[in-house]
């Protein structure tokens, strides 16, 4: 007789717990991930185990890319949403699985690994080799170019890397969750996203929301992402909310890092054996400072590691851009560098005192990402207090729309050997360097005739300016600056800045250029 009496309270308790859990599940938020990050931060770091069997560990890239997701096995294909979710398989350096969860009506459930989701092509693999493997990352698909045709618009793979594209774009530079000690003489630390939670989108949702837990020996972090595919404007945007906890001291923390590639271009000696006039994912760093100044820093492929620092309090925006999109600037039908997006970061709120830093690493070919840009705070919060960084990344082909339309911008930077015209009209190379900068924009095209325009120029002590000219450039309705300079000590860098002004009014962004050490060719 006692059993029925005891059963009712037990059922009531179970029901109450179910309601409580459901309420908690519906309230899933960034705070849930932050609680996980706090727990990790209070514990010693544990590196994830490498579970790859030899067949996958020894794979070359050409074989790894044969492993493709099967379209008939993609997640959400029967959910009425235009979003599709597919996965990356483990292999090569992707040696540890990442856990991927789905949030459905507030409830969390793991998307378990299944080798049936993949087409392994002509790879000769023992089926048992996949028994204990998992996912290395995921891909998001959405029809941005043609109705009914799934396009991959985001790739999340390796450490904390991700790539995004909008309408008419192809993959280029990457974003990262966090950078630690990049460009220093100590080993760089690569934090990694260890677990993801993706909110299953409803049929009419135009955004995809997902969360990520970041972990590394000296930092943990909680992230919320909101991906909006580019349709009307062609720009895809990614809103990021980051909460970073320090596990140990770091020399340099890189917030909102971007990673790209620059091999050569018109501002740097090109490869004489390459028919392409330029080869890069990005060709400059743009910064909108808290004080309202706009900077443009063309990129280099230096002969030795180069670090440029721009003191910026409360940055309004910064990014690695691909300026000059004419196909003739690249002449590459295979890799279409003319269609690779720029990434422009717009911080939310005040980030405080800090620096935008640019790291340029020598590379002999285009297979290496040798450019990194990020914001680094002057001071970090004390242990246990998260560093908050909220921002939106715009992935765009329309770089001009990012800029202040009241200012002219740098159209191109051209570098050549400096030359002197002799009395017999034969050009003489005298060991100097020639730099040509073209400015364009509506503010210049609409200047009343006869308006005086001056060049505001400054150069470091290591440069001797031999000649400078400024003249209208009618074909682009802009202005052209030409400098001829001599580098005093080739072992040291040269810094140069210039902008167009008229009657005390700034007409253009500031061109901030660096000649790296040992960049002057021997005569």
441 occurs within a structural domain: yes
Q: Is the same domain home to 190 and 241?
A: yes
Q: Is the same domain home to 346 and 437?
A: no
157 occurs within a structural domain: yes
Q: Is the same domain home to 30 and 98?
A: yes
The gap from C-alpha 371 to its chain's centroid, in whole angstroms, comes to 10
Residue ending a domain, among 385, 402, 419, is 402
Write down the pLDDT at residue 1. 31
Q: Is the same domain home to 358 and 417?
A: no
- 74 pLDDT exceeds 70? yes
Q: Is the same domain home to 419 and 481?
A: yes
pTM of the predicted model over 0.85: yes
pLDDT, tens only, 14-44: 344 343 344 444 478 999 999 999 999 999 9
Lowest average pLDDT, out of 68-82, 397-411, 416-430, 457-471, goes to 416-430
Residue ending a domain, among 380, 402, 424, is 402
Q: Residue 462 belongs to what domain range?
A: 409-515
Q: Is the same domain home to 109 and 248?
A: yes
19 occurs within a structural domain: no
Cα separation, 27 vs 7, whole angstroms: 30
Q: Is the same domain home to 468 and 324?
A: no
What is the DSSP annotation of 486-510?
Answer: EES-TTS-EEEEEEEEETTEE-BPE
Question: What CATH number corresponds to the domain at position 320?
Answer: 2.70.98.10
Name the region of 158 (left: φ>0; alpha: ψ -120 to 50; beta: rest). left
Q: Is the same domain home to 286 and 168?
A: yes
4 occurs within a structural domain: no
Q: Is the same domain home to 352 and 464?
A: no
Q: Is the same domain home to 417 and 441?
A: yes
Write down the pLDDT at residue 232. 66
User: 8: part of which helix (H) or strand (E)?
Assistant: helix 2-26
Q: Is the same domain home to 115 and 170?
A: yes
Domain count, the chain: 2
CB count within 10 Å of CB 77 equals: 16
Tokens of 102: 């789905």
The whole-number average pLDDT for the span 132-145 is 96
Residue ending a domain, among 383, 402, 421, is 402
21 occurs within a structural domain: no
341 occurs within a structural domain: yes
Contact predicate 156/224, CB 8 Å? no
Q: Is the same domain home to 129 and 51?
A: yes
1 occurs within a structural domain: no
Question: What CATH number corresponds to the domain at position 489?
Answer: 2.60.40.10
Closest residue by Cα to residue 285 from 161, 402, 187: 402
180 occurs within a structural domain: yes
pLDDT, tens only, 420-447: 776 776 777 788 999 999 999 999 999 9
pLDDT, tens only, 322-359: 999 999 999 999 999 999 999 999 999 999 999 999 99
């Amino acid at each position: 007789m006692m059993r029925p009496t005891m059963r009712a309270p037990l059922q009531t308790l179970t029901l109450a717990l179910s309601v409580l859990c459901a309420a908690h599940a519906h309230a899933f938020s960034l705070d849930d991930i932050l609680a996980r990050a706090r727990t990790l931060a209070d514990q010693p770091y544990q590196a994830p185990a490498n579970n790859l069997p030899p067949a996958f560990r020894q794979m070359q890239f050409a074989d790894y890319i044969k492993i493709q997701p099967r379209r008939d096995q993609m997640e959400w294909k029967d959910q009425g949403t235009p979003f599709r979710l597919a996965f990356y398989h483990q292999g090569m350096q992707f040696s540890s699985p990442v856990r991927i969860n789905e949030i459905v009506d507030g409830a969390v459930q793991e998307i378990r690994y299944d080798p049936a989701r993949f087409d392994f092509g002509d790879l000769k693999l023992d089926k048992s080799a996949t028994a204990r493997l998992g996912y290395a990352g995921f891909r998001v698909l959405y029809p941005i170019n043609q109705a009914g045709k799934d396009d991959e618009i985001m790739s999340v793979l390796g450490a904390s890397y991700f790539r995004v594209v909008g309408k008419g774009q192809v993959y280029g530079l990457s974003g990262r969750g966090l950078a630690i000690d990049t460009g220093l003489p100590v080993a760089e630390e690569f934090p990694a996203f260890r677990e993801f939670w993706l909110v299953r989108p409803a049929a009419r949702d135009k955004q995809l929301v997902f969360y990520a837990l970041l972990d590394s020996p000296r930092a943990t972090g909680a992230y919320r992402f909101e991906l909006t595919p580019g349709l009307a404007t062609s720009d895809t945007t990614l809103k990021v909310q980051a909460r970073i906890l320090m596990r140990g001291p770091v020399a340099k923390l890189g917030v909102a890092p971007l990673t790209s590639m620059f091999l050569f271009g018109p501002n740097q000696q090109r490869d004489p054996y390459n028919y392409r006039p330029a080869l890069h994912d990005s060709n400059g760093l743009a910064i909108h400072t808290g004080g309202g100044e706009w900077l443009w820093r063309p990129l280099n492929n230096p002969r030795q590691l180069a670090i440029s620092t721009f003191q910026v309090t409360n940055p309004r925006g910064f990014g690695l851009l691909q300026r000059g999109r004419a196909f003739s600037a690249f002449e590459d039908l295979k890799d279409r560098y003319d269609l690779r997006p720029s990434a422009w970061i717009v911080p939310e709120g005040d980030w405080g005192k800090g620096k935008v830093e640019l790291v340029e690493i020598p590379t002999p070919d285009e297979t290496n990402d040798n450019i990194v840009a990020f914001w680094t705070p002057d001071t970090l919060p004390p242990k246990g207090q998260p560093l908050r960084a909220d921002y939106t990344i715009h992935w765009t082909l329309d770089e001009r729309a990012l800029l202040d339309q009241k200012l002219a911008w740098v159209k191109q930077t051209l570098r050549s050997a400096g030359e002197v015209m002799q009395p017999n009209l034969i050009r003489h190379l005298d060991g100097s360097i020639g730099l040509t900068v073209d400015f364009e924009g509506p503010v210049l095209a609409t200047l009343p005739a006869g308006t005086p325009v001056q060049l505001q120029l400054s150069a470091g002590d290591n440069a001797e300016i031999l000649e400078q000219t400024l003249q209208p450039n009618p074909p682009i309705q802009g202005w052209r600056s030409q400098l001829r300079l001599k580098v005093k000590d080739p072992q040291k860098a040269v810094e140069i800045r210039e902008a167009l002004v008229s009657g005390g009014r700034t007409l253009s962004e500031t061109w901030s250029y660096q000649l790296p050490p040992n960049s002057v060719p021997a005569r």
